[in-house]
A and B are shown apart, each in its own frame.
Chain A
Amino acid sequence: DTGVSQDPRHKITKRGQNVTFRCDPISEHNRLYWYRQTLGQGPEFLTYFQNEAQLEKSRLLSDRFSAERPKGSFSTLEIQRTEQGDSAMYLCASSSDRGGGLAAYEQYFGPGTRLTVT
């Protein structure tokens, strides 16, 4: 399967613990995005990378959140000192400049990591 993969699919953690999620984008996709989605809402932008460079971060992304994409391939999202309000689905998506125009914005999503903070 050559789609976007995320690991783990589910994570239950206690408040105050650190968690790390991984995303593997579609091969050769140069852009990678992280979103958070809660019930009844659309995905909320967190950050995105172009290759290994993190180009934008949401103001909603507190200093407890950090994302990396060290070699421009897979990415990790770490949440430190988790809070109950962090419980959500964390989605990763990737896109490619190939094709240009609107095609460069078309994102392909992974299945998400569901985080539950108890």
Chain B
Amino acid sequence: RKEVEQDPGPFNVPEGATVAFNCTYSNSASQSFFWYRQDCRKEPKLLMSVYSSGNEDGRFTAQLNRASQYISLLIRDSKLSDSATYLCVVATGGFKTIFGAGTRLFVKA
């Protein structure tokens, strides 16, 4: 079993749609969680950190469920510019970080 697993995707959605990404992690001792975005042929960039109580940044909402070892990212009112691969990231002991394989999102006009 992979340490971090994400929906395989791709997701194809129309502009304005709400889309949810799911991620599970296997190490119950994991402490910190993040979502990164990676555009085609570009480096990953931090989208948002995931706080225990959940957090929102504009159209983006992240949730953490430690009991189920599950993280989610919700994007509301999708824009064409949201098209990218979304990577779930989990920090295990120390500062070692494990990336999921990513879920590709295509937003169409």
Contact = CB atoms under 8 A, between A and B. Distances in A.
Contacts of B61: none
B95 A106 contact: no
Contacts of B102: 41-42
Interface residues of B, number: 21
B101 A42 contact: yes
Nearest to A112: B43
A10 B94 CA distance: 31
A65 interface: no
A33 B49 contact: no
Nearest to B96: A56
Contact of B96 (A42, A48, A109): A48
A13 interface: no
Contacts of B49: 102-103, 105-106
Taking residues whose C-beta sits less than 8 angstroms from the other chain, chain A's interface range is 20 to 34
Nearest to B50: A102
A31 interface: yes
B46 interface: yes
Contacts of B43: 91, 109-112
A29 to B, nearest CB: 12
Contacts of A87: none
Contacts of A50: 95
A102 B95 contact: no
Interface string A58-85: 0000000000000000000000000000
Interface of B: 4, 32, 34, 42-46, 49, 51, 87, 91, 94-102
Query: What 6 A-B pairs come out closest when comparing CB atoms?
Result: A42-B99, A109-B43, A102-B49, A43-B99, A42-B102, A105-B32
Interface of A: 31, 33, 35, 40-45, 48, 50, 55-56, 91, 95, 102-112
